[in-house]
Structure 1
Amino acid sequence: MTLQGEHTLIAELKRGSKEAFDRIYKLYASRLLAYCVHYTKSREDAEEIVQDVFVALWNSRETIRQEETLHSLLFTISKHRVINAYRSTLNSPVYEDYVDYQNELSAGEDCDRVEYEQYVKIVKDAIRRLPSTQQRVITLSRFSQLSNKEIAERLSLSEQTVKNQLSVGLKTLRELLAKVLVLSVAGLILNIVNRWL
């Protein structure tokens, strides 16, 4: 097969070409594997996720809307597979936020990354700055993964109060985290620079 643009491969994939699928696999598999290993810290788990991503691509080939590139589609599927793989062992909403944070940092290639444990510590420290009701509601929602109804029952509040406190608390928390994470990354960079002096 002659060298083709990705848009041609996508068109052929939609028509069921296994050769196009193989070429797309070769184009993306190693990048997806590196992405997944970064989060799973396990090559075996990452390989399994990458295989699942390509099975999903093949199974949905006829309904693919992308025409020029599959980059964002494949990395989005990978992100969701990574989060699902950790749903039972890690605190999923916090881990999902962490993966989103890491993806945003990827845009700035020179930024140091904050490891997951450090990220959780930063989140918990930021939560402690909120009013006590918001602290309890967010902790029960994000760390214990309780529904608004369960939180209302546990804290003797109305569901609407829980919903309001969660909404206001998460908005404030996002603002706090934006500042803290920027400072944290800046602090990491400053520490590296200081070691050079």
Structure 2
Amino acid sequence: MEWGTELIRVLFGEEDTQSTLFYLEIALRTVVMYGYTLFLTRMVGQGGIGQIGPFEFVLVIAVGSAAGDPMFYPEVGLAQGILVITMVIILHRATGALVQRWRSVEDMIEGRPLQVLEKGRVLKDRLGSGTLTERELFALLRLEGVRDTGEVECAFFEPNGRLSVFRYPKEEQKPVRPTIPDDAATRFSHR
């Protein structure tokens, strides 16, 4: 096989994928998949993706996939992968500009903090949205050193999956509900 022909195949993929129309199709597919992935990420909820926001999660997934395909599949040319990565970065920057300009877009993409505790009481109706279970909430409270929900004036589950806890002053704390699991409660003194 001739080096020039092989180089063209590596850069642009198989012969049937070298048309301008195919590259426009790639751009359209990228826009659709970016939007759909962002939508699904928001549906998964705040805790489903860990410490990064949905916006960054989509970027990582999209760029990782676009970079990997030309590395493994000979029918996917480097130019096609470069186009997809470029489109994803352009979409990411455009979405970032929209988020900076309009708060409603930021709320739609990144989400809003969800109040999950008030005056030591778990707001169970807020947990039912599929975002956070009571067990996960108690685990996050324990990570913050909270032994009893009565220590907490209010707590918010943040879009990045972390918990913001606002405690009562020590003299205002009262026992409401221990956060320590039942099977471990006997080994720890509550107060």
TM-score range, shorter chain: under 0.3
TM-score of the two chains, using structure 2 as the length reference? 0.25
Greater Rg by CA = 2
Structure 1 or 2: larger helix share? Answer: 1
TM-score of the two chains, using structure 1 as the length reference? 0.25
Higher relative CO (Cα under 8 Å, sequence separation at least 6) belongs to: 2
